[in-house]
Amino acid sequence: MTSATVLETVSTQKCFGGMQGVYRHEAKETGCTMRFAVFLPPQAAAGTVPALYYLAGLTCTEENFTVKAGAQRVAAELGIALIAPDTSPRGLGYPGEDDAYDFGTGAGFYVDATETPWRDGYRMYSYITRELPALINASFPVDPARVGIFGHSMGGHGALTIALKNPGAYRSVSAFAPIVSPMRCPWGEKALTGYLGVDRANWRAYDATALIEDRGWAGPAILVDQGTADPFLERELKPELLREACAAKGVKLDLRMQEGYDHSYFFIATFVEDHLRHHARHL
């Protein structure tokens, strides 16, 4: 942590022998106050532990996963730190920032925007991949060489694209109901047009299927859980596109269609232990 960075503790609670905390700081990439949650397992008292980043979906904050997923018990057993950042900048005052749930506030889409005015603060890709890890590594007992990433919906898109573009930084990746191809769904088309402009060639850097086509993935199998009763399955999520892209490039994919599950945190809580153990095997 640089001398210019001030990390403020919002709250801490003992949890499964470890510590669940919420923190905030003034972020350079987003130009605003950013909050994030960190769960440190009891093993962190004796030395560094692996770090697993979780990226949340549309309308969410750092609180959703922390409170609803029930991940701390297993993370404490496995000795893994959980880091859950917010999904977007807040309070920048851009025109239209709060007009819709799927663009602007709560909908940063984990991109570095290039369009005015979004390019000045909507830089969640750089925040997640550079600024936040630097702060975490300097402030908490985590091992920067043992890092995984996962997420849900928009955050699943973020986790997949970030891992695919930075294979040396992330040993493992998984997702719950991810937006696998924002270039080919209404949520993604709206967000990518607004943040990146109309040239679809610029969108490929933030589309998991395109990144697999362009770069592949040599890491361990990508674990994806998708509920069959998810109301966004056919219109927005389209997991078959990820299956096709992985098959064409020989990328290992464990796509599990979970009968009767929807898009909620009840779905995430049901399978989060599987994801934590998946990451633990590689961290």
Calculate mean pLDDT across residues 195-210.
98
Share of the chain above pLDDT 90, in %: 98
What are the pLDDT digits (tens) for 12-60?
Answer: 999 999 999 999 999 999 999 999 999 999 999 999 999 999 999 999 9
Which class does domain 5-279 fall in?
alpha beta
Share the mean pLDDT of the chain.
97
Q: Look at residue 221 in the predicted model and tell me its pLDDT.
A: 98
Q: Which of 156, 164, 188 is nearest to 268 (CA)?
A: 156
What are the pLDDT digits (tens) for 134-147?
Answer: 999 999 999 999 99
Give the distance from CA 9 to its chain's centroid.
22
Give the confidence band of 68 by pLDDT, cuts at 50, 70, 90: very high
Give the confidence band of 4 by pLDDT, cuts at 50, 70, 90: low
Calculate mean pLDDT across residues 255-259.
98
Q: Look at residue 5 in the predicted model and tell me its pLDDT.
A: 75
Could you tell me the pTM of the whole model? 0.97
pLDDT at 1 over 50: no
Calculate mean pLDDT across residues 163-185.
98
Positions marked catalytic:
153, 230, 263
CA gap 58, 182 in Å, rounded: 13
Domain positions in the chain are 5-279
